[in-house]
Structure 1
Amino acid sequence: MVELLVENMTKEDLEVRDNNDDTALTIAAGIGATRIAECMIQKNKELVSIQGEQDLLPVIVACKNGHKDTAKYLYAITPFVLLLEKNGAHGSLLLRASIFSKMLDISLDLLQKYPQLTTTRNVSHGTTPLIELSSLSDLFPSGLQFVFWKRWIYSIIQVQLAADQHTNVRIPIPQNGDMHRRSILVRAKTFDFFYPFGLKQIYDTKLTHTYALKILHLMSEYISNIDDTRLQQSGVYDAFFIAIKHGIIEVVIEMLKTEPNLLTFVDKNRRGILLSAVQHRQENIFSLTYVLGTRKHKLISGTDGQQNNILHIAAMLAPPHRLARISGAALQMQRELQWYKKVESIVDPSLKEYTNSNNETPGEIFSNEHKELVINGEKWMKETATSCTVVGALIITIMFTAAFTVPGGNVQDTGFPVFLKRKSFMIFIISDAISLFSSSTSALMFLGVLTSRYAEDDFLKSLPTKLIIGLSTLFISIAAMMVAFCATLIIMLKGELKLVIPITLLASIPVTLFMLLQFPLLIEIFVSTYGPSIFDRKIKYWF
C-alpha cells in the first residue's frame, strides 16, 4: 500500500506536515518503520532534511524512540552538513540521543567526524555530550552488576570494533570535503544459541562498554586541545565532578590523564576529588589515594565552604541511593562505620577534634546523623535474632527428645538400643548430636544479639560476627536434623526403598529453602565483615 501511495504522489506531497508539524517520514521514524521510510526517501531524498515537531530531524526521532535499524538507515543518508554546529544543534541532539539509546556505533562515528560535539552545549538541556556520558555508569565496566560467574565470562569474551565484522549497515564518512562510505560494527556476534544462559547479554554488555571507552577516549583527545581558560566554560569541570558522583572511575582517570590539573580543582562547595568521593561514597574513586603518593596529603587536608574537613564529610550520612544498595539497616550502619574508620586512618589525628563553621567535631556529626540508622539497625538485628531463636529453640527441643527415644527402642536385658550395630543408627546419633549442639550454639549467639548494648562501634564487627555464627550454626542444625530424620527412616523402613527415597528427597526441601532465603544474607554479612576491603589497593597507576 505504501509503495502504491508513494508512486502516485509528488515530491511535494511527501513534504506535507500534519497538525504536529511532522512529515510522514518523521512519523515513520518515530515508530521504526524502516521499509516505509525507504519507500518515501527513494521518491524524495530531501525528506531526511525536514525537521518535525520540536525541530528534530527524522534520524534524531528514530534514535530517541530506540529504533536502531531505522536510526542507522537514516543516519547513513542524512547529509552530514546538517549536523554541523553552524546549522543548529542537530549534531549535539543526535549525539545525545544515540548515547542515551545505546546506539554507540552512531555516536562513535559522529564523534570521529566532528569531535567538536564533545563540548557543544545543548540549548534545551544546557548540558554537553561529555557531561551526559559522565552520568551513565551502566555504559562502563565499573558499573557492571553481574554475578561472579557472569563476570568471569565477561572477562574472557573478546570484542573487536573492526571493519571485518559482519554488518549490513554502512555509514558515510566525510574525507577531504567529500562523502564516501565505509563499514562500522553495528551488531554483536550471534549468541542466540546460548541465549538462555545469558551469554548474548554478556557479549552485548561488553560491546557497549568497548564502544563507550572508545568514545570517551575520543572526547578526551578533543578536550586535551582546549585552552585551560576555557575548560570550565566547556563543561569539562562539570563532567569531571558528575563522573565522581556516579563513581565512573574510567571517566575520572581518562580526564586526569588528559588534564592533571583537575586534581586540584574544587566544585561549587569547594570540595575536590577526594572530598567529593567521600561525600558520594564512591569507594572506587577514593581508592585513587593509593596511587596519588604525596599529593594525597594536600587533597585530604583541605576544607570545604563550611570548614568541613574530609573526616566531617565521612561522618555525614551517605546519600540514600548509596545506602539502598546494601541489605538491612545494620549492614548499612556497618558500611558507614567502615567509611569513617578508613578516612580516620589516613588523616592527621588532630583533624578528629577540628570543628567546622557550626562548631561540630566529626564524631559529633557522625553520632547526630546516624541516630536513626542505629535505631533501625538495632530493630533489624533484634527481629532477625528473635525469629531465628524461635527456630533454634524448637530444634533443641526436638533433637534432645529424639536422643532418648531412639528408633526401635532398647533391649530389655541390656538397655542398649536394638539397632546399635547398624551404621544408619550411628549416623542418626551423630547427626542428632550435631543438630543439638549447633542449635544450642545458634540460640546462644542470637541471645547475645538480643542483649547487646548496640553502641555504634558494635555494628562494625561484634554484632555481624554474632549474626554470622548464629545463622551458620542454625543452618548446620537444620541440615543435621534432616539427616537424622532420614537415618531413622532407613532404620524403620529397611528394604522399602519406594518409601524411603521419596521421603528423603522431601526432607531436603527445608534445607534448600533455608539456603535460598537466608544463605545470601549470610554470605553478604560475611563478605561485608571479613571479605576484601571495599577500597581497592590494587588500583592501576594511571600516569
Structure 2
Amino acid sequence: MSTEALTCKNNAGNTAFCFAAISGVEALAKVMMDTKLDLAMARGRGNLLPIYMATLLGHRGMVSYLYGETNGQLTDGDRIALLVALINSDMYDVAWKMIRAHPGLARARDEHQLTALHALAQKSCMPSNAVDQSLPGFWNKNLNPFSFFKLARMKKLMHKQALDLIQHLWEQVILLDDATISRQIGEPWPLIFTAAERGNLDFLTILIRLYPDLIFKVDQNTYSIFHIAILNRHEDIFRIIYQIGSIKNLITTYKDKEGNNMLHLAAKLLESPSRLNVIPGAALQLQRELLWFEEVKKVVQPRHIEEKNTLGKTPGALFIEQHKEMMKEGEQWMRDTADSCMLVATLIATVVFAAAFTVPGGTLQDKGTPVFLKEIAFKIFAISDAISLVTSASSLLTFLSIRTSRYAERDFLWTLPNRLIIGLTALFISIGAMMVAFMATFFLVFSDRLQKYSIPIAAVASLPVLFFIWQHFRLFADMIHSTYTSRSLFKPNKSPLFSKKAKVA
C-alpha cells in the first residue's frame, strides 16, 4: 500500500492500521510500522487509538506490541482510559507496566470519573476463575495436557498479577487523608459495595486488610458489605464477619429505612436469576435459602429474630411471604419426583417378589427344592433378588413418606431432601441388584445353549436400567451436594483476614 493509502481513513474514521489492530495480527502491524509512519497514534472511530481498540477485543499480543510503540506519546487521558480497558480485559501485565511507569494513575479518573480500583471492583471474579481465550486451542474440547497446564499456569499468573495490582493501587490511595480516601472510593459510586454485590472477595480482602474501617462503611440504605453479601447470597464475603470478633455485634444492629435488620434481608427472596439458578430445582433453591436464613440467625442478636420492621413483619413471617411461590413449586417438584420413583420401585418390588417363587430351572417334585440349588449362579440370584426386594420396598415406603409429608418450610431444609436421598439410594441399589439377579438367571437357563450370546444379551437387557440411573444420577448428586456439602459453605476461613499488618485509620 502507498503512504497515502496507509494514512487514509474510511467513512467510519478508521485507518488500515486500525483494522490491523482489530484483527490482532501482529505481523501485519509490524510490517505497517516499518514504513516509519506514526500509524500507532493515528486515531480511528470515536477518536480511539488502535491500542485501545485491540484492548477492547482482547488481543493480548497486539496490545503488548503497541504499548511499546505508543507509551511515550500517550496523554494522561489516554493512559487512564487504556488502564481501565486493560483491567476490564484482564491484561494485568501491561497494566502493571503502566502503573510502574506512571504511579499517578493509581488516583487518576477517566472520562466517566472511574479509577482503576473502580474497574477492579466491578469484576465478578478474579482471573483464577476466568478464561484466557487468547490461548491457542482453548475452545478445542480435546486439549492436550501441555495446553491444559499452560492454561492453568496462565490463569494462576493472571490471578497473582491482579492481586498485586489491587494491593499496589490501594497502597497509593491510603497514603491520602481520610476525606480524600472517602472521595476516591466513593465517587462516582462506592466501589466496596459494588465489589460486595459482585462477590469480589479478593478485592475486598485486600482493601480491608490495609484499611479496616471499611467494615463500618454503609451505603444510602445503611447496608454494610455484609448486608449486601446477604442480599446477593455471597457466602465467601459473609464469612468475613466471623473473623472480626465483637465488632460484628455492632454491624448486625444496622437497619435500613424500612426497619429491616440483617435477618430480614436473609428472609428476602434472592432477585438475581443468575445467582438463583446456580442451584437446580425449586426444592433445592428453597433449601439453600433456608440455610442462609438459619446461618444469619446465628450471627444476629436474639432480640433481632422476632423484631418487626416498619410493616410489622418479623423475619420469619417475611421469609414465608417472600418464598410462598417457591414453596409451592418445591412441593410440586418433590411430589412429582416421589411419584415417578414410587412407580419404578413398585414395579421392581413386584417383579423380584414373583421371581423369588418362580426360581430359574424349577424345583424338584419330591422335595420342592430348586434344581440349581448347588450352582453358584443360583446363590447369586437368590441373594441379589432378596436385596432388590428389601431395598425396593424400603424405597417405596420412603417415597410414600415424602408424598404424605406436611411440607412445612423447615421440612425443605433437612427432612425432605434427606428422605429423597435415602429413597434414591435404595432405589439405585434395588435396580443394581435386579440386574445381577437377571444376569444370574440368564446364565443358569441359557448357558449351555446360548453360551456365546449370553454376555451380549445380558448387557443389552441392562441398558434400560442403566439409562434410568444415568438420568437420575445428576439429581442424586445435586441433592447430596446441597444437603450435606453446602453446610460447610459458612465455615470461617482457616486463614485470618488480618494476617498481614493492617493500617488502622
Name the TM-score, length of structure 2 as normaliser.
0.90
Report the counterpart of residue 280 of structure 2 in structure 1.
Answer: 327
Give the C-alpha shift of residue 126 in structure 1.
4.6
Report the counterpart of residue 447 of structure 1 in structure 2.
Answer: 400
Are 2:164 and 1:214 aligned? yes
Are 2:145 and 1:194 aligned? yes
Report the counterpart of residue 426 of structure 2 in structure 1.
Answer: 473
Aligned length: 487
Contact 1:223 1:258 in 2 (8 A): no
Identical pairs, percent: 39
Are 2:3 and 1:51 aligned? no
Q: CA RMSD in A?
A: 2.4
In 2: Cα distance, 1:491 partner to 1:144 partner: 57
Of 481, 501, 514 in structure 1, the residue corresponding to residue 455 of structure 2 is 501
Query: What residue ranges of structure 2 are gaps of 5+ in the alignment?
Result: 499-505
Where do residues 33-432 of structure 1 align in structure 2 (5 Å cutoff)? 33-82=25-74, 84-85=75-76, 88=77, 90-123=78-111, 125-141=112-128, 143=129, 193-194=144-145, 198-235=148-185, 238-320=190-272, 321-432=274-385
Paired residue secondary structure (2:183):
coil
Give the C-alpha shift of residue 300 in structure 1.
1.0
In 2: Cα distance, 1:457 partner to 1:422 partner: 52
In 2: Cα distance, 1:226 partner to 1:483 partner: 74
Contact 1:98 1:106 in 2 (8 A): yes
More deviation in 442-451 or 349-358? 349-358
1:455 aligned partner, one-letter code? A
Contact 1:140 1:250 in 2 (8 A): no
Are 2:467 and 1:513 aligned? yes
In 2: Cα distance, 1:204 partner to 1:510 partner: 44
CA separation of 1:47 and 1:291: change in aligned 2, threshold 3 A: same
Are 2:409 and 1:434 aligned? no
More deviation in 57-66 or 73-82? 73-82
1:270 aligned partner, one-letter code? T
Give the C-alpha shift of residue 67 in structure 1.
2.1
Are 2:478 and 1:524 aligned? yes
Report the counterpart of residue 536 of structure 1 in structure 2.
Answer: 491
In 2: Cα distance, 1:507 partner to 1:201 partner: 43
Deviations 1:248-302 (A, max 9, x none): 2111110001221101110121101221221111111111122111111111122
In 1: Cα distance, 2:91 partner to 2:470 partner: 38
Say which structure, 1 or 2, has more relative contact order (CA 8 Å, 6+ apart): 2
More deviation in 72-81 or 452-461? 72-81
In 2: Cα distance, 1:433 partner to 1:462 partner: 28
Report the counterpart of residue 502 of structure 2 in structure 1.
Answer: none
Deviations 1:189-240 (A, max 9, x none): x9974168x4444333323322222222222222222322122332357221
Contact 2:267 2:318 in 1 (8 A): yes
Give the C-alpha shift of residue 403 in structure 1.
0.9
Contact 2:174 2:181 in 1 (8 A): no
Deviations 1:363-420 (A, max 9, x none): 2211110101101111111111111111111111111111111110111111111001
Give the C-alpha shift of residue 76 in structure 1.
1.6
Give the C-alpha shift of residue 113 in structure 1.
2.2
Contact 1:244 1:273 in 2 (8 A): yes
2:270 aligned partner, one-letter code? A
CA separation of 1:374 and 1:193: change in aligned 2, threshold 3 A: closer
In 2: Cα distance, 1:205 partner to 1:96 partner: 20
1:464 aligned partner, one-letter code? P
In 2: Cα distance, 1:80 partner to 1:446 partner: 72
CA separation of 1:382 and 1:349: change in aligned 2, threshold 3 A: same
In 2: Cα distance, 1:266 partner to 1:393 partner: 58
1:59 aligned partner, one-letter code? I
Name the TM-score, length of structure 1 as normaliser.
0.84
Report the counterpart of residue 21 of structure 1 in structure 2.
Answer: 13
Give the C-alpha shift of residue 512 in structure 1.
4.0
2:99 aligned partner, one-letter code? L
CA separation of 1:225 and 1:366: change in aligned 2, threshold 3 A: same
Contact 2:394 2:423 in 1 (8 A): yes
Give the C-alpha shift of residue 333 in structure 1.
0.6
Report the counterpart of residue 154 of structure 1 in structure 2.
Answer: none
1:16 aligned partner, one-letter code? C
Contact 1:489 1:500 in 2 (8 A): yes
Tell me which stretches of 4 or more aligned residues in structure 1 moved more than 6 Å.
none
Contact 1:288 1:539 in 2 (8 A): no
Paired residue secondary structure (1:294):
helix
CA separation of 1:482 and 1:118: change in aligned 2, threshold 3 A: farther
